[in-house]
Chains A and B, each alone.
Chain A
Amino acid sequence: MAAELVRGQNHPLTQTRLEIRVSAGRPVVAGATLADDRGTVHGTQRVAHPGAPALPGLEVPRQAASDHRLAVDLDAMPQDVHRITVLLALPVGTGGPTRFGAVAAPFVAVTGLDGTEVASYTITDLDTESAVVALELYRRQDAWKVRAIGQGYADGLAALLADQGLTDAHALAGTIHDAVAQGLARAVAPPPRATDEAQVRAAATAGQAAGALPSSAPAPAGRPGGDGPIDYSHPGRQAPPPPPTAQPAEPGRPAVPVAGDATGWSMEERLYNQVWGMFEDLARTAAAYRSAVDFADSRMEQELDHVLSDPRSRIGGQGDAAREAARAKHGALVDRAREALDRDVAQLVAESDVVEPALPAAYARWDNPCWHAYRSPMEIPMAVRLGDLRLPESEAAGLRIPMLVRLPLERGLWIDAGASAGDALTDADELRARAAHTAVIHAARLLAAYPAGEFSVHVVDPAGTAAGALAPLVEAGVLASPVARGAAGVSETLTRLTERVDLVQMAVRAGAADALPPDLDVAEQLLIVHDFPHGFDDRAVTRLRYLADEGPQVGVHLMLVADREDAAEYGPLLDPLWRALLRLTPVPDDHLADPWVGHAWTYEPPTVPDGSAILRQVLAEVADARRARGL
């Protein structure tokens, strides 16, 4: 801690690179003398002052100023220097005050290079003195200490220097005052404070000229390890509580996977991170495998080319042997790559086998038993599962990675009902029906993931073609408004949601979220539009684009069930809309890319087990919870 010294008190110095800061309220001259172990200053060359500001290990300002910083490097001090005396004096001939009694008590502090105060001293009780010895730094048995002195001299600088044992003290005092006067004359205006930069430049030039500055390192400010206030731990990386520890692996065998074996503050977050870790691992493992196989292929091709172009290979069996060797090398490398892939996939399968059953409802497949115990949650989960992801490499092992997306949704969803989405075998009507059904499954999961009343679902079905698929939502009574039909229904629903976006945006911008009308539904809103763009006129399309752009920030999300071909007449006008939405398909389709390597992943939409009533059961629980909240 910083010590506030009183006159005569001393304090140990642990650092050797120091700054002495002076602040006096009025311009003062600062200097220092270097004395040997008997307190003798050997001549004027051992005095640092504005006329000769740099000495080995010591640097003082060149001008009188109200704030000073003196740099001291104790390591660079000549061995015979045992005492450094820091002195202050009032400049003469400037029309300023001539006695310290007329100015504020000078304050002197010894600091580290990072500004940490080591010791400070306020020189009080000065009156007619015009020069004062502020501090001394002294060496005792190879350790340095600072002592507060505060000895004033009414006869000024000359008397002070004479007291230090300098014979030509008067001449030196004159030199100092001349240097100060010159400095003041050069100054455009009385400097409010000597800028650090000016000081540094002075130091640099003085150092180059004299070549006498210490060669020991100006280390970057603030060395760790001291007791300084700097905390070197990363502010954003405080360690979360440790995850459940896995059983130590038997030597030579992979660790037994454990659900939640990732970092996070809650089990939910750990599982989320673990799933994303598995996602990344599979992406990388597949990348390793693919790059090895690609390499093997290209190497074999090169070698075969080489055999072909080598005239010697035409003679006898040499060519065949070389070809055979190239193929064998290729086969060996591919086998080893396959082996590594199989090992990694097996490890991930084992992990998936323990993780899947442990997932909470929002992350779980619909066949997970946790859905049977579903209760409306109290908190919004971190993420929901939109389906499964797999790569061709993982297919044989049956490995699927849950596709988790964060809540609240950052992008709207587009359930692609177009023929391009799936295999050509499924006919168009079948695809449309499946798309509507998939949309309902997604909506049900979102409804179930949010606490009751915090997620409102609106449906626009202009032609009424999705009545069958929408039945589970309608019959359970979980929709916030009746299914809108016809052009009028489209227009009315869009108007309502657009108004909501406008109102919330205005309130947020004005910082007056409590000024919203009391009847406004503050829940997150999901608008399911079936068979877009049927029933939409240009105005409605514009509004929908507005919702897609502005909605997500204020909690209004879109789920379009659409075939892009149907909207072809709008041309490129709607391209931004499609791009803004996350495309999901009602049948497996390899259109999603991972963020690390960019593989094409096959997306598998969520499915409810055949003959299972789980969807209706969950929706009934959601409806009960909504009724309990008076909705």
Chain B
Amino acid sequence: MGIDLTKGQAISLEKQGGGTLTAVRMGLGWQAAPRRGLFGTRTREIDLDASAVLFADKQPVDVVFFRHLVSDDGSVRHTGDNLVGGAGQGGDDEAILVDLARVPVHIDQIVFTVNSFTGQTFQEVQNAFCRLVDETNGQELARYTLDGGGQYTAQIMAKVHRDGPGWKMTALGTAANGRTFQDLMPAILPGL
């Protein structure tokens, strides 16, 4: 079953019983934290955005986010922007699919980030998580819960990086501030 990752923990993306993974999905789900008040419609909408930055030797080569939904090589795909977050059903509100077999050979790290586009801090976000799913069978490989309550607007969630012939995932969980991934670059680079 899925492993609950803690900050800095790494897992190998090898299939149980051998064989490497071919396609993974990084799912992001969240809910706006409730404000006091009875009327549900007054919950302020929070737009979290998932992005993936592709690195080759610590140089950003390509990025997949809501304005560039597919990496040029087609290996990383964003399923589309969700502006309001989930209905609290635990499903993914935004997802990024990675076809590991088709990632260009020079790309050695893919960093996943979450930004609050609307500017709310994670104090106002509830039940936010990021999880890695084996896309071929829907099995959850790892889950990483964003510990809420922080006074920051972005988080560098995890990275998937090459490890020999296969891939590994490391939970980063670095808090940062920024509206889009560009603002996060200085915070991402030390984690590579």
**A and B: real partners?**
yes
| Chain A neighbourhood of B75, CB < 8 A | 284, 288
When the two chains form their complex, are residues B34 and A596 in contact, meaning their CB atoms are under 8 A apart? no
Q: How far is A283 from B43 in the complex, measured between Cα atoms in Å?
A: 44
**Bound complex: CA of A295 vs CA of B104, how far in Å?**
11
Residue B36, interface by CB 8 Å: yes
B124 within 8 A of A: no
The answer, yes or no, to whether B40 is at the interface (CB within 8 Å) is yes
Nearest-Cβ distance from residue A75 to partner chain B, whole angstroms: 11
Residues of A within 8 A of B57 (CB): 295, 299
Contact among A213, A221, A288, A299 with B102 in the assembled complex (CB-CB below 8 Å): A288
Interface presence of B1 (CB below 8 A): no
A295 touches B41 (CB 8 A): no
Please tell me if the beta carbons of B106 and A295 are within 8 angstroms of each other in the complex. Answer: yes
What A residues does B34 contact at CB under 8 A?
A: 215-219
Are A223 and B88 within 8 A (Cβ)? yes
Residues of B within 8 A of A221 (CB): 40-41
In the complex, A207 Cα to B31 Cα: how many Å?
Answer: 22
Q: List residues of B (9-59) whose CB comes within 8 Å of A's CBs.
A: 31-32, 34-43, 56-57, 59
Q: Is A140 an interface residue (CB 8 A)?
A: no
Interface residues of A in 56-85 (CB under 8 A from B): 59, 71, 73
Residues of B contacting A59 in the complex (Cβ-Cβ under 8 angstroms): 38
B93-150 interface with A by 8 A CB criterion: 102-106, 126
Known contacts being A288-B75, A596-B70, is A219 close to B87, with CB within 8 Å? yes
Most chain B CB neighbours (cut-off 10 Å) among A280, A288, A295: A288
A-side contacts of B40, CB under 8 Å = 17, 113, 217-221
**Which residues of A, 320-379, contact B by the 8 Å Cβ criterion?**
333, 336-337, 339-340, 344
B62 contacts the other chain (Cβ, under 8 Å)?
Answer: yes
Please give, as numbers and ranges, the residues of chain B lying within 8 Å of A288 by CB-CB distance: 72-75, 102-105
Check A214/B74 contact, CB under 8 A, given A223-B88, A224-B89.
no
| Known contacts A280-B74, A291-B73, A299-B57: A218-B43 contact under CB 8 Å | yes
Q: CB distance B38 to A287 under 8 Å?
A: no
| A-B contacts, CB under 8 A, total | 119
Whether B39 pairs with A71 at a CB distance below 8 angstroms is yes
Q: Does B175 contact A (CB under 8 A)?
A: no
Interface size classification for chain B: 20 to 34
**Contact residue among B32, B38, B43, B106 (Cβ-Cβ distance under 8 Å from A291):** B106
The residue in B38, B59, B74 that gathers the most chain A C-beta atoms within 10 A of its C-beta is B38
Question: What is the CA–CA distance of A340 and B73 in the complex, to the nearest angstrom?
Answer: 12
> In this assembly, does A236 line the interface, its C-beta being within 8 Å of a C-beta of chain B?
no
Does B61 sit at the interface, judged by CB under 8 A? yes
Main DSSP-derived SS at the A contact region? helix
Binary contact readout B60-77 vs A (1 if CB under 8 angstroms, 0 otherwise): 011000000010111100
Q: Are A218 and B72 in contact (CB under 8 A)?
A: no
- Could you give, for residues 70-86 of chain B, a 1 whenever the CB lies within 8 Å of some chain A CB and a 0 otherwise? 10111100000000100
Assess whether B39 is in contact with A225, with CB atoms less than 8 Å apart: no
Task: Report the minimum CB–CB distance from A293 to chain B (whole Å).
Answer: 9
Task: List B contacts of A337 (CB < 8 A).
Answer: 104-106
B-side contacts of A309, CB under 8 Å: none
* Mask of B148-179 contacts with A, CB within 8 angstroms, 1/0: 00000000000000000000000000000000
Compute how far the CA of A217 lies from the CA of B124 in the bound complex, rounded to whole angstroms. 12
The reply to whether the CB of A455 lies closer than 8 angstroms to some CB of chain B is no
CB <8 Å contact, A291 and B37: no
Please report the C-alpha to C-alpha distance between residue A596 and residue B74 in the assembled complex, in whole angstroms: 9
Interface set, chain A 203-251, CB cutoff 8 A to B: 203-204, 207-208, 211, 213-225
Residues of A with C-beta under 8 A to B41: 113, 200, 218, 220-221
CA distance A204 to B87 in the complex (A): 22
* Distance from A302 Cβ to chain B, minimum over Cβ atoms (Å): 10
Contact B84 A220 (CB under 8 A): yes
Give Cα distance in the complex from A597 to B68, angstroms: 11
Question: Are A71 and B106 closer than 8 Å at their CB atoms?
Answer: no
Given the known interface contacts A218-B39, A288-B75, the answer about A223 and B104 at a Cβ–Cβ threshold of 8 Å is no
Give the residues in chain A near B74, CB-CB below 8 Å: 280-281, 283-285, 287-288, 596
Do the beta carbons of A287 and B105 come within 8 Å of each other? no
Q: Quote the shortest CB–CB distance from B93 to chain A (angstroms).
A: 12
A237 to chain B, nearest CB (A): 11
Please state if B88 and A292 are interface contacts (CB–CB under 8 Å).
Answer: no
**B42 proximity list for chain A (CB < 8 A):** 200, 204, 218
C-alpha gap A207/B39 in the complex (Å): 11
Taking CB atoms, residues of chain B closer than 8 Å to A597 are: 72
Q: A289-B104, A337-B106 are in contact. Are A73 and B38 (CB under 8 A)?
A: yes
Q: What is the chain B residue whose CB lies nearest that of A114?
A: B40
Give the Cβ gap from B119 to chain A, nearest Cβ, in Å.
19
9 closest A-B pairs (Cβ-Cβ)?
A284-B74, A288-B73, A218-B40, A217-B34, A288-B104, A336-B105, A287-B72, A292-B106, A71-B38
Q: List 11 A-B contacts (CB under 8 A).
A: A207-B38, A213-B36, A213-B37, A215-B34, A217-B40, A220-B41, A220-B84, A223-B88, A288-B72, A291-B61, A333-B106
